[in-house]
Structures are given as C-alpha cells and as structure tokens.
C-alpha cells in the first residue's frame, strides 16, 4: 500500500465495528481512483479507513463510503484533507496494509 507523503488528499471514514468499515472500504475503492493507505482499529469498536488520491477522488470516495457505512451500521466521522503536510503521513502510515 502507498505511504502517504502529503502530495495528495487523504480521506477518512470512521465507523462503529468492522463490518460497516469493510463495506465502506469496498465502496470507497470502487467509487473513485483512490488507494487504501491504512486502517486503524482504534478501540471501543471504532475502525478508521484511510485512502489517498486527488481531492475530487477522495471526496467522491468518502461520500460513497459514508453512505455505505451508514446504511448498515454506524458512521461516526468522515473527512477529507486536501494535500496535508507530509508529517501527517508519519501518523497515518504507521499501520500500512500489506497486499499480497
């Protein structure tokens, strides 16, 4: 998975539970040209999915993911940060997802 260095936007979806998070992730990746950066099991059943891509793609992706998560579970947050500073990548890339 890509490490985020700040050149592109990042999009986030946070849900209660893994099932709505996985459905949101599936819809996010299918909705726009974004790449999965990482996911975070925060605790208290909160799960965050993070994607990267251009600003428009991240917005479309997050909107699709938020709609999917809310349809089958609880969406607690959603956000898109257009071109954050590179140091944000140090935080969000610490749990990169391995692809085989």
> Considering the domain boundaries, does residue 30 fall inside one?
yes
> Considering the domain boundaries, does residue 61 fall inside one?
yes
> Considering the domain boundaries, does residue 28 fall inside one?
yes
Count the domains in the chain: 1
> Considering the domain boundaries, does residue 37 fall inside one?
yes
Q: What CATH number does residue 78 fall under?
A: 3.30.70.1710
> Considering the domain boundaries, does residue 96 fall inside one?
no
Alpha helices in 5-99 (DSSP H): 18-31, 55-72, 87-92
Domain extent at residue 38? 9-82
Check residue 1 and give its pLDDT.
Answer: 46
Q: What is the CA radius of gyration of the chain?
A: 12
96 C-beta neighbours (distance < 10 Å), count:
15
> Considering the domain boundaries, does residue 59 fall inside one?
yes
Instruction: Give the H/E segment covering residue 42.
Output: strand 35-43
Q: pLDDT of 44-53, one tens digit each?
A: 899 999 999 9
pTM: 0.85
> Considering the domain boundaries, does residue 68 fall inside one?
yes
Q: pLDDT of 32-69, one tens digit each?
A: 999 998 898 888 899 999 999 999 999 999 999 999 99
CB 10 within 8 A of CB 85: no
Task: State how far the Cα of 90 lies from the Cα of 41, in Å rounded to an integer.
Answer: 17
Q: Is the pLDDT of residue 100 over 90?
A: no
Burial of residue 18, with CB atoms counted within 10 A of its CB: 0-12 exposed, 13-18 middle, 19 or more buried: middle
Q: Which residue has better confidence, 7 or 25?
A: 25
Phi, psi of 94 (to 5 degrees): -70, -20
> Considering the domain boundaries, does residue 47 fall inside one?
yes
């Amino acid at each position: 998975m890509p490490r985020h260095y700040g050149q592109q936007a990042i999009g986030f979806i946070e849900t209660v539970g893994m099932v709505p998070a996985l459905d949101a992730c599936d819809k996010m990746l299918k909705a726009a040209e974004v790449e999965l950066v990482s996911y975070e099991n925060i605790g208290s059943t909160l799960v965050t999915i993070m994607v990267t891509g251009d600003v428009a793609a991240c917005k479309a992706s997050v909107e699709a993911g938020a709609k999917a998560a809310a349809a089958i579970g609880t969406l607690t947050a959603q956000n898109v940060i257009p071109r954050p500073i590179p140091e944000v990548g140090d935080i969000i890339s610490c749990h990169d997802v391995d692809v085989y």
